[in-house]
Amino acid sequence: MAALRAAQLGARVALIERKRVGGTCLNIGCIPTKALTTSADLLLRARRANDFGVTVSTVGVDLPKMMVYMQDTVDGLVGGVELLLRARKVTPIRGDGRVVRPGMVYVVDESSAASEVEADQVILAPGFVIARPPIPGLDLPAVITSTEALQGSQMWQIL
């Protein structure tokens, strides 16, 4: 993370985040996906256990527990990143930032309160938006985004 590295190098750093630190990968991408694929892999292995001479009497899915495992994994890693940022005295600012002129970042928080942050240097990491290409059928109820899949509401259809 650029903010952590800048702080390690001695810079005074403010980190503007819309939601939680860690960005897409940590919160709604790589990490939660890997947690769920680990669960799915265990399910598939358990279903094939007999092929390896291992008897498993019942194999099932407890989606709420699976989602708790995923969220606990994400929360633990986010907590670790927050701890590292605090240790390096990075100032967290919750909101959306926009560079309005050289050395000035305009920040609007969740309550629509605005503030300005002065900076000698600015690193931009603008995040992402979900892309929905114009594909016929993409608007059908069973078609979901990766973010929706990770929320679990549509997970039973996948499993």
Q: pLDDT tens digits, residue range 99-111?
A: 999 989 999 988 8
DSSP notation for 115-150: EEEE-SS--------------TTTTSTT---HHHHH
Beta bridge partners, 99, equal: 105
Grouping H, G, I as helix, E, B as strand and the rest as coil, residue 101 is strand
Comparing CA positions, the residue from 153, 123, 146, 140 lying closest to residue 29 is 146
Residue 86 φ/ψ, nearest 5 degrees: -60, -40
Q: 114 pairs with which residues across the strands?
A: 108
Say if residues 34 and 22 touch (Cβ distance below 8 Å).
Answer: no
Q: 3-25: per-residue pLDDT in tens?
A: 889 999 999 999 999 888 988 88
Task: Find the mean pLDDT for residues 46-73.
Answer: 91
Among 91, 82, 83, which residue's Cα sits nearest to residue 11?
Answer: 91
| Dihedral sign (CA 45, 48, 52, 56) | positive
What does the domain layout of the chain look like in residue ranges?
2-158
Kindly give the pairing relationship between strand 14-17 and strand 114-118: unpaired
| CA–CA dist 84, 37 (Å, integer) | 27
pLDDT tier at 140, thresholds 50, 70, 90: confident
Domain 2-158 CATH class label: alpha beta
